[in-house]
Structures are given as C-alpha cells and as structure tokens.
Amino acid sequence: MENLSRKRTFIEFVMSLVMSFFVITSASCTGPLEVNLPSLAQETSDELTFREAFDRLSNVSDRARAAAVKVVNIGEDFQAQGSGTIFRVDGQFIVITAAHVVRDAQSVIITTPDGLGYFGTPLMTNHELDYAILLVPEIAGRTPLRLRPLQEAQMRVGAHVTYTGFPNGHNLLSISGELSGMARGQHLIMHSYAWPGSSGSCVFDNQGRLVGVLRAVDVGQAILPQIIEDIVWIVPAWRIDFSALHALLQK
C-alpha cells in the first residue's frame, strides 16, 4: 500500500508539472488559443488549384503531341531512333532532339505519326550535353511550338512536367513526371518513365515552357548494372545555346 501511495504521489506531481506548463503557455498567448485546422473553403481552394495545374499540364501535353516527331538516323552499320519536337524560331522550323540519335550525320529522317517522312539537316550538335537542333521544312499535320526556354532561376524541384515521344516502339505516348533534382551539376533528374526511343523528347512544365531535352534513363550501380527507367536524365533548357541558334538562323 505504501508503494502504491508513493506511485500516486509521483504521478500527481508529474501531472501538476504538465498542467502548469499548459497554464503558463496559454497565459503567455495574447488572446484565445487557436488551432489552425483547414476549413472547407481552404480544401476546396487547394483542390481547384490542383485541378487547374492538371488541366494546364493536359493542355501542354496536347500541344506537345501535335509537335512531336520521330527522328531516324540510318548509317552503314547502325540505325538510331529517337524523338523530337518541332518549334518555329525566327520564321523557320527546327526540331530539337538528342545528339546521340543524330551522331555526326549530315542529314536524318523526320517522320510523323501518320508516316510522312522529311529530311532534317543538323544545325547544332552538342555531344557533351547531348542535344541537337535540326533545320526542317514545314511538316504537314504537325503544329510547331513557340520556343520558351525555362530559366535556371525558374526551376523548382517537385514541379510537374510532361513529354511526348516514341518509347519502346510505341507510336506516340505522352508521359508526365516531376523534377527531382540535379545530377553532376549539369543535368536535371526527372521522376517519370522513359525507354529507348524516347531520347530527344522535349520536356515541358505546366506553363508550356521548355524544361529540357530527355537524354537517358539511369543505370543502377548495385551488384550488377540495372536500368532504372523511372529516373530520367534531362539536358536543361538553360544550357542549350539558343543565342548561337538565332545567329545561325538569321544568316
């Protein structure tokens, strides 16, 4: 009984300390204690914001699909295939794609989802960063986009992005994802999906700005190398030399 009494005394002492803490804390507040619970109006506002962002991304996807093309490079002992996007710049038509698709070719074949074929001439090829820009004629059935590159200061981790391309032999797929961070100080990492054939696809944010060019999927370095298709490398738009492009187009 004595031990039980001591336990009760100790519990009462602890409870008195806890209660005194709450009394002191509440007394130091100017006005009544408020609990910030989200109101129904706040939840509705957040939901509308999400829907608006989703709708914007859907509209961007629609425009990207209308500008997407397949890039085919047929060499003597190889065939490379990737994706690209048509833009109208300085009154001319260009396709932005990946350098490892174009390689050192003097011309490549641009095909549409309808099966039409055109020749594209490389204007710029950067093998280090892995992007290429091709000069093309006006392509029937395709609607070129306005070039609006994302600036480095505008990049936000977690931003929703989308791209359209031809991964794994599919005719045309639009795929969304999120920006996850940077890699090696010069590439963006996107959490999404990609596979051979999607290289060269242009990635856009929900405002239609060019985020960059899809370069490759990641390779895990565990016991054996393993492709990680949901970690995707992107050449950032702000590292593409668009000043040199304008100079070439205005010659």
Q: Are strands 79-89 and 92-97 parallel, antiparallel or unpaired?
A: antiparallel
Q: Which domains does the chain have, with CATH numbers?
A: 57-250 (2.40.10.120)
Question: Which structure tokens are listed for 187?
Answer: 């590439």
Q: Are strands 117-126 and 202-205 parallel, antiparallel or unpaired?
A: unpaired
Tell me which amino acid residue 153 is: A
Question: Which structure tokens are listed for 184?
Answer: 């090696």
DSSP assignment, residue 151?
P
Residue pLDDT, tens place only, 144-198: 999 999 998 898 998 999 999 998 778 888 989 999 888 777 888 888 877 888 8
Q: How confident is the model at residue 24 (pLDDT cuts 50, 70, 90)?
A: very low
**In which residue are the tokens 């002191």 written?**
24
Residue pLDDT, tens place only, 38-58: 333 333 344 446 566 656 767
In the chain, count H helices and then E strands: 4, 13
Task: Write down the pLDDT at residue 228.
Answer: 63
Q: Which CB contacts under 8 angstroms, 24+ apart, belong to 56-61?
A: 56/206, 56/207, 57/160, 57/162, 57/176, 57/206, 59/208, 60/162, 60/204, 60/205, 60/206, 60/207, 60/208, 61/162, 61/164, 61/174, 61/176
Question: Which structure tokens are listed for 34?
Answer: 């408020």
d(CA 67, CA 65): 5
Q: How confident is the model at residue 23 (pLDDT cuts 50, 70, 90)?
A: very low
Q: What is the mean pLDDT of residues 199-228?
A: 80
